Amino acid sequence: MSDYNICVGIPTVEVLHLGKPVTIQREQDTSATIRAEYAITARPCPPYCIQPMRLEQGVETLGELEVLEYLKRIRQGDSALMLIDSRTADWYAKGTIPGATNIPYAQNMAGHATDLHGLKRILIESFGVKETDKAYDFSNAYTLAIFCNGPWCGQTPNYIRTLLALGYPAAKLKWYRGGMQDWCSLGLTVI
C-alpha cells in the first residue's frame, strides 16, 4: 500500500498499456517535481490560449478520477471506450497516460477536407464508425476520452470540434481538459 494514494479508497489503478499491465499511482518520492515541459507558465496566445471548462454542448469535461474510471472500465473489458492521446508522436514518446492510444489530431484530423481518405480511415478503423451512402453511422462508434498537453493546448478542442462537425455524437466525446500538465502535476504515473 502506498503512502500517497490517488484518493481515499483508491491507492492505485491497474491498466493495460500496449497489452502489458501497468500500475497507475501517485509519485511516492517527496522530492519529485513536475516535468520541465509542463512547468512553463508563460505561453503565447495564440496558439496556446487557456481553454474553457465546457468545450461544446453535450461534451463532458473529465477530471483525473473520471479518466481513471474510464481506464478501469477499459481494463475490465468495456470495448466501447477509448482514451486518446491527441498529441503528436514526439510528445507521446516523451510520456503518456498508461492505457492511452496515440491518434494525433495534427497529423490525422487537421485539414480533413484535404485528407478525407486519412480521416475516413481513422473513423472506420480506429473509432468504430461505419460508412453508409454519403454519410457515417455512429451508432456503434466508441466513446472517446481525448486529451493533449493541458488547459492551454488547442489540439483536443480542435479534434473534438472536427469530430462534432462530422456528426460524431457529443455524448460519445469526453474531454480531459487538464491533459498531461495536470496529470503530471498530480504525480500520476506516466509511461
CA–CA separation, 100 and 126 (whole Å): 13
CA–CA separation, 128 and 103 (whole Å): 14
Cis peptide before 46 (omega within 30 of 0): yes
Q: Give the CA distances from residue 86 to residues 98, 103, 120, 131, 165, in Å, rounded to whole numbers and listed in that order.
A: 14, 5, 17, 23, 17
What is the number of residues in the chain? 191
pLDDT (tens, 9 = 90+) of the chain, 191 residues, equals 568 999 999 999 999 999 999 999 999 999 999 999 999 989 999 999 999 999 999 999 999 999 999 999 999 999 999 999 999 999 999 999 999 999 998 655 544 444 556 777 889 999 999 999 888 999 999 999 999 999 999 999 999 998 999 899 999 999 999 999 999 999 999 99
* pLDDT tens, residue by residue, 2-52: 689 999 999 999 999 999 999 999 999 999 999 999 999 899 999 999 999
All structural domains of the chain, each given as residue ranges with its CATH number in brackets, are 59-185 (3.40.250.10)
CA–CA separation, 160 and 145 (whole Å): 10
Reduce the DSSP state of residue 172 to 3 states and report it. Answer: helix
Q: What is the mean pLDDT of the chain?
A: 92
